[in-house]
Structure 1
Amino acid sequence: MKTLIYNGTIYSMRTERETFDAIVITENKISECINGEVNPALYDHVIDLKGAVLFPGFVDTHTHLVGTGMALTSISFKGETLAQSVLDVICEATKAMDDDQFLICEGLDDNKLDRKLTLNDIERVTHKKVIIKRVCRHAALVSRAVFNHFNITDDVRDIDGGKYEREDGKLNGWVHDNAMEVILSVASKTDESTITQAVDKAVTAFRSVGLTGVHTEDLAYYDDFKDVLQAYKNVIHNQNPFRLNILRHTDVIEEVLDTDFEYNEYFRPDAMKFYADGALGGRTALMREPYTDDPSTSGLAIYTKSELEAKVKYAREHDIPIAVHMIGDKAVEMVLDAIESYPIKDGRDRLIHVSFLSEDLISRMKQLPVICDIQPMFVASDFPWALARVGHERVRYSYPWRSLLSAGIICGGGSDSPIETYNPMYGIYAAVARQSPDDTQGYNMEEALSVYDAIRLYTTEAAKVARNEDTYGTIEVGKYADFTILKQDPFKVKIEKLYEIETSCTMIDGKIVYQCEG
């Protein structure tokens, strides 16, 4: 059966502004790209775009799919600015809780609150076990009942890759990185059923904003990674298509390699994931110099130099690329040292976030087979308070997307959802405007991208990140019929309106998997 799609603007993304008048789908692939008049009567099925704008399917190269699904059904404080409002919600939510239950909340951004919350604040409204994840998911605020449950007292020592925050020598409730993960590993109980519900929720949400696939890292955060893999299969199949690149965390990589999970056109194995540092908000991103607003710390190294090298060596022994979370410039330096000590034989290593760089680091990256997962929305979320963290001198190469692309380094556009919105139009807007919709100015505008380059992050560049350029990323004969169809043309709206563009329709394998009302 041949399906004609016509009567709109069809951007190929092979070059800037190249368009077709129509395309034809045969089965699940593009079979013709047409410029000129077409006769709809000659085709088995016709899709009239009615003036809408079609792009190759948008792909988000860095998400946490299961976490997104769970966040969509959890209490979230994303965007909240009043500490008392947070406490009011906690008070109400814990009233009917049993003492053995944990209340786990999402999205708290202490940089936007009118005052910093501590465990003493939570204690005033409830004595139940409460965990509030910071928006970056590298820190959390926990109640005293949580500390009591784990027998954590004021004399507890920091652990490798994790720390307990203190005020005047006493725990204030904030736990960072591995200290948080130890708590969450016990507090978050899941099974195949709950994870399947989360996967279904997230896939539905992703497709509603035009995403035809994501690169996700989920396997080490739940009770059994096999439940996650089975949940993927429960939701995603040829009658309900979506495409996943599955990153595999170092904590479970050996077991995952030994499992008989069947990869196919919807599930592709990807790199071995681990963390080199923490996050900027909690001052655990590892920097070369101390933080400007707290000279007592330069951040947190999750691994020592030798431990990092051991991770890379293991990946090389199994012919797997690495994918490493790194925000601070010192973390990037440490990872590049390890990569240079143990070069990859085939493929590209994945550098995730790379928020703070320098000329020398970019020069080194240019010489290596690496790609970068960048999150444009970070600049919208992190400024202007990021200036206080690192000072004006280090800002020049913060979130340096233009410099990376100009150096010929492949960059994929990611959201890090649920940390940031999974809507790619917000990411495209942030890459161009380098500000949030609420800001009045952009930051470090030397690094701003054009609209075309911003869209490339989610199309042609995303395909390169996956080493899958032959099957998607552009509108060409032989490629998957995966399309993101927008109501407005991003090349023709004002920049400040980019994030307002809505998805009209999402197609995967030639199937309509989302269509807006009307």
Structure 2
Amino acid sequence: MNGLILYNGNIHTLDEKRPKAEAIAIEGNKIVAIDQQIKNLEQKYLKKINLKQKTVLPGFIDSHTHFISFAKSLNLLDLDEGTSLDETLKKLRAFAKRKNKEEWIFAKRWNINLWKKLVLPDKKILDKISASNPIVVFSKDGHSLWVNSKVLEIAKIDESTADPSGGRIERYSNSHEPSGILKERACDFVYKIIKEPEEQILSQLLKEAFKRARQKGIVGIHDCEDEKALELFESFQKKQELSLRVFMMIPQKNLDEAIRIGYKTGLGNEYLRIGGVKIFADGALGSRTALMFKPYNSEPKNSGVEVNSQKDLLESVKKASQNHLSVAIHAIGDKANHQALNAIEKGNHNKNLRHRIEHAQVLDPRDIRRFAQLDIIASMQPIHCPSDRVMAEKYWGKRSQQAYVFKTLLDSGTRLAFGSDLPLYGFDPLKGIYAAVTRKGENGGNSWNSKEKISVAQAVYAYTKGAAYASYEENLKGSLEIGKLADMAVLSKDIFKIAPDEILKTEVLATLWDGKIVYNDDFLEISD
């Protein structure tokens, strides 16, 4: 096939000079002509696709994922939406019955904040399910673990084990005995002893994860994992099986090694590229470890966890920027965001780098303008907004009015890049767009802090051009223009014209990636 023409479409290009089009010509993996320019090429391009007036957008880019973790999680018990301890234990017992003796039991997305009756979980509860099988339950926010006594024994966590810097081992009151709840860097004790899935199984899971992403119109991801994830993506690229574009973060612990190897932000190609250094300033809202200026409501002794001190943040930013590496600082709480901004302001030694703050969830009003002033990208996850509303109001009170301030950040000149935080939340960009536009959950209800709603165009931009800018690739992707990559999503409705509530009823009909149809080629019927 010499090329491909898509015609009779309702194409939103996101190109300011030519925002709408009806036809696009593709050669190889690039766009070579649009609308009238195609007439000169029709004899050359033998294959055509009638879009039948369906809506086409640039393919979505998820700016914050833990993609390999998502792939691995496809084999885990899912506890999401569990509303009580009894419901959670019922699922765990049924799952445990299918396991062999001493086989590890893993469950994901446990969310104590949804339990209608607050019961503090501990190791003894899990011991009743199995004392011989190690049981590990991952919290939904990814910042806490609930484990049984067997896991504590294998990890060698006991009364004498000190809390690690930036982490907390929860203990029974008036005792040093670990309760079975681990937070932030204390989770590393367990992560170190968990065995990786066999290579063949992991490969199959990753292929399934790629498939699910394509079904959502996703063509690229920014991945916040480690060297093992990078190695896996590299192996898939060598085998030409990498079917998403990956902007790969470097964990803070690997900064010195990355410098030794010579990694720089942007190194790589259009399929796999080195990103910035991922640094944690604090924890998360669900685990009440997000770092706040003032204590959590009803928890007067808890202001969160400072995973990296102000000094450590500054030193990491300095070292990274001096070696041509941008930073991506995880910051949820208002104090964490303040300290992240301080670190970038004082530590950045390379004005060509595009630093970002991941989440930027709740902000001190005095810090909002600093994002634009310092040219820092706010990498945010709009799906968190309705999902976290109850928790934010419960734990932050009036401070929650400064949470997820999409519009205020945009109005101040801040660049936004949107993502999902996969696998903690689902990665459907249309649901993310809906959340940003309505600030409502999928079940409707009232908008939360409605003055922070943004337009569909602004939300789509953050999932496309904004994400491309965050990876230094705005000249390569993020909009449908001549010379850019042919990555597109075909939708069942025009989300720019329909009522916001209709966005949730919109489907991804097909996805094109690298000039090829990679999802639902039955819909995009090719004719000669």
Could you state the TM-score of these two structures normalised by the residue count of structure 1? 0.93
Structure-1 residue corresponding to 2:253: 251
Which whole-Å CA distance do the structure 1 matches of 2:500 and 2:198 have between them?
Answer: 44
Q: Which amino acid aligns with 1:178?
A: R
Counterpart of 1:266 in structure 2: which amino acid? Answer: Y
What is the alpha-carbon distance in structure 1 between the residues aligned to residue 156 and residue 514 of structure 2? 52
- In structure 2, relative to structure 1, the CA distance for the partners of 1:19 and 1:198 (3 Å cut) is same
Partner of 1:269: 274
1:423 aligns with 2:428: yes
Q: 1:76 to 1:344 in 2, by over 3 A?
A: farther
Deviations 1:15-59 (A, max 9, x none): 499311111112221111116997996431101112211011111
Kindly state the Cα deviation for residue 295 of structure 1 after the two structures are TM-superposed.
Answer: 1.5
Q: 1:203 to 1:461 in 2, by over 3 A?
A: same
- Which residue is equivalent to 1:18? 19
Distance in 1 of aligned mates of 2:335 and 2:384: 19
Q: Does 1:120 align with 2:107?
A: no
Structure 1, unmatched stretches of 5+, are none
Tell which deviates more after alignment, 169-178 or 330-339.
Answer: 169-178
Deviations 1:394-439 (A, max 9, x none): 1222111111111111111110100111111111011011121124
Letter in 2 for 1:13: L
Structure 1 residue 130 displacement after superposition: 0.6
Select which of 354, 375, 380 maps to 1:374. Answer: 380
State the Cα distance separating 1:225 from its structure 2 match. Answer: 5.5
Residues 251 and 279, structure 2, Cα contact 8 Å, conserved in 1: yes
Corresponding residue SS for 1:339: helix
The one-letter code sitting in structure 2 at the alignment partner of 1:198 is L
**1:338 counterpart = 2:343:** yes
Number of residue pairs the alignment of both structures matches: 512
Deviation by residue 1:270-293 (Cα, 9 ceiling, x = unmatched): 101121100001110001111113
Letter in 1 for 2:20: T
The DSSP-based 3-state class of the residue aligned with 2:77 is coil
1:302-330 CA-partner distances (Å, limit 9, x unpaired): 11222222211220231100111100111
Q: What does residue 526 of structure 2 align with?
A: none
- Once the 2 structures are TM-superposed, how far is the Cα of residue 197 of structure 1 from its aligned partner? 2.9
> Matched residue of 1:51: which SS?
coil
Are 1:443 and 2:448 an aligned pair?
Answer: yes
Distance 1:35 1:386, change over 3 A: farther
Distance in 2 between residues matched to 1:517 and 1:44, nearest whole Å: 19
1:184-214 deviations in Å (ceiling 9; x for gaps): 2212434544443332222111111100111
Q: CA deviation at 1:155?
A: 5.5
Indicate conservation of the 8 Å contact 1:130/1:142, yes or no.
yes
Aligned partner of 1:64: which letter?
H
Amino acid at match of 1:184: Y
* Mean CA deviation greater in 274-283 or 85-94: 85-94
Where in structure 2 are there 5+ consecutive unaligned residues? 524-528
Q: Aligned match of 1:101 in 90, 100, 103?
A: 103
SS in 2 for 1:68: helix
Distance 1:151 1:269, change over 3 A: closer
In structure 2, the residue corresponding to 1:149 is in which secondary structure? Answer: helix
Quote the residue 2:141 is aligned against: 136
The answer to whether structure 1 residue 211 and structure 2 residue 218 are counterparts is yes
In 2, Cα distance between the equivalents of 1:311 and 1:514? 41
Structure 2 equivalent of residue 196 of structure 1 = 203
Partner of 1:308: 313
1:79-98 alignment, distance < 5 Å: 79-95=81-97, 97-98=99-100
Aligned runs of 1:220-259 on 2, under 5 Å? 224=228, 227-233=231-237, 236-237=240-241, 241-256=243-258, 258=260
Over 3 Å counting, the alpha-carbon distance change for 1:447 and 1:489 in structure 2 is same
Q: Does 1:182 align with 2:189?
A: yes
> What letter is aligned with 1:125?
I
Contact 1:244 1:266 in 2 (8 A): yes
Residue of structure 2 aligned with 1:365, choices 371, 375, 379: 371
Which stretch of structure 1 is more off in the superposition, 134-143 or 334-343? 334-343
1:457 equivalent to 2:456? Answer no
Classify the secondary structure of the residue corresponding to 2:114.
coil
Bigger mean CA deviation after superposition, 480-489 or 94-103: 94-103
Cα deviation, residue 241, structure 1: 3.6
Shift of 1:459: 1.2
Q: Deviations over 1:55-112 (max 9, x none)?
A: 1111111111101111222211122223223212222322354554321211111111
Cα 1:79–1:349 shift into 2, 3 Å: same
Separation in structure 2 between the aligned mates of residue 418 and residue 431 of structure 1, nearest angstrom: 19
Select between 449-458 and 38-47 the one with higher mean Cα deviation.
38-47
Q: Using the TM superposition, name which of 146-155 and 449-458 deviates more.
A: 146-155
Which amino acid is the alignment partner of residue 25 of structure 1? I
Q: Which amino acid aligns with 1:126?
A: S
One-letter code of the match for 2:224?
A: E
Return the alpha-carbon distance in structure 2 between the equivalents of residues 236 and 498 of structure 1.
34
- Match of 2:511, SS state, is strand
The equivalent residue for 1:57 is: 59
* Aligned residue in 2 for 1:29: 30
Q: Which has the larger displacement, 182-191 or 295-304?
A: 182-191
1:314, 1:175 → 2: CA distance? Answer: 30
Instruction: Report the CA distance shift for 1:144/1:255 in structure 2 as closer, same or farther (over 3 A).
Output: same
Any idea what SS the aligned residue of 1:207 has? helix
State, as a whole percentage, how many aligned pairs show the same letter. Answer: 28
Q: Is the 8 A contact 1:65 1:417 kept in 2?
A: yes
Hey, what's the Cα distance between the residues in 2 that align with 1:229 and 1:437? 33
Please name the residue that 1:157 is paired with.
162
The Cα shift of 1:154 comes to 4.5
Mapped partners of 2:281, 2:396: distance in 1: 19
- What is the TM-score of this pair, normalised by structure 2? 0.91
Q: How far is 1:296 from its partner? A: 1.1
CA distance in 2, matches of 1:252, 1:457: 29
